[in-house]
Structure 1
């Protein structure tokens, strides 16, 4: 199953890089210093992981696909290390309020998105 996680991880990393660049460029063009690219990716990845969790638990998604999509894709698509790095960048640039908002909103919205994905999928599937 390691290969399955690797295949999913490759796709997740590529999408994160491409989508993150697009979102970050648009945010910068609008004059925002908030790390919208990573924020959107981490929240959407949390939502997807919540959906996949329920599908796997209900036996709809086979363990192989959990390895590809849940562990590999979502694991590479979302990024805790970039979240930490960008938080430190905001602090270094003396944007402490933005850093605090980034941390709080990332955690709250990430957990809420995972819960929403689980709830919605449970509602539809069960």
Structure 2
């Protein structure tokens, strides 16, 4: 186990906030640029991309070393901050309620179920991609993370 000093709470909160500004701004820009439709495709696409990216990030970091120092700050800034700000549970739920209010109950159920199933699938694809990428960078026959060699 590496003896790396733990970043301060203030520094960690700072990278999460900075990442959140980037992720939230990107999401808001995409939503404004692409506009809305009856089916909330933009939110669905954003949440699926975020699920994939979070799976890729977390698995990639976990396979290449301990969650300390700079690696922890990357996880917090990109994962909790940027990806957390980019994806949006609150908009997802609000859009589902709006579908119901507009008389699209079946569409709402499909949107909710599809988002859940596709989101889990996207996260799994991210985890699998990170697994393959980190294995490819390892020496043949050596399944240990690079930091453990």
TM-score by length of 1: 0.90
Once residues 24 and 99 of structure 2 are traced to their aligned partners in structure 1, the CA distance between those partners, rounded to angstroms, is 24
- Count of aligned pairs: 120
- Report deviation, 1:59: 3.0
Once residues 125 and 21 of structure 1 are traced to their aligned partners in structure 2, the CA distance between those partners, rounded to angstroms, is 36
Give structure 1 stretches of 5+ with no counterpart. none
2:15 matched residue in structure 1: 4
Once residues 44 and 57 of structure 2 are traced to their aligned partners in structure 1, the CA distance between those partners, rounded to angstroms, is 20
Larger-gyration structure (1/2): 2
1:34-93 per-position Cα deviation (integer Å, ceiling 9, x unaligned): 001111100000000000011220236811111110010111110001111000000000
Once residues 59 and 9 of structure 1 are traced to their aligned partners in structure 2, the CA distance between those partners, rounded to angstroms, is 24
Runs of 4+ in 1 over 6 A off after TM superposition: none
Note the aligned Cα RMSD (angstroms).
Answer: 1.4
Once residues 133 and 29 of structure 2 are traced to their aligned partners in structure 1, the CA distance between those partners, rounded to angstroms, is 31
1:38 matched residue in structure 2: 43
1:102 matched residue in structure 2: 111
- 1:14 corresponds to which of 25, 33, 50: 25
**Contact 1:5–1:68 (Cα < 8 Å) also in 2:** yes
**Contact 1:49–1:70 (Cα < 8 Å) also in 2:** yes
Which deviates more, 59-68 or 39-48?
59-68
Give structure 2 stretches of 5+ with no counterpart. 1-11, 136-149
TM-score by length of 2: 0.76
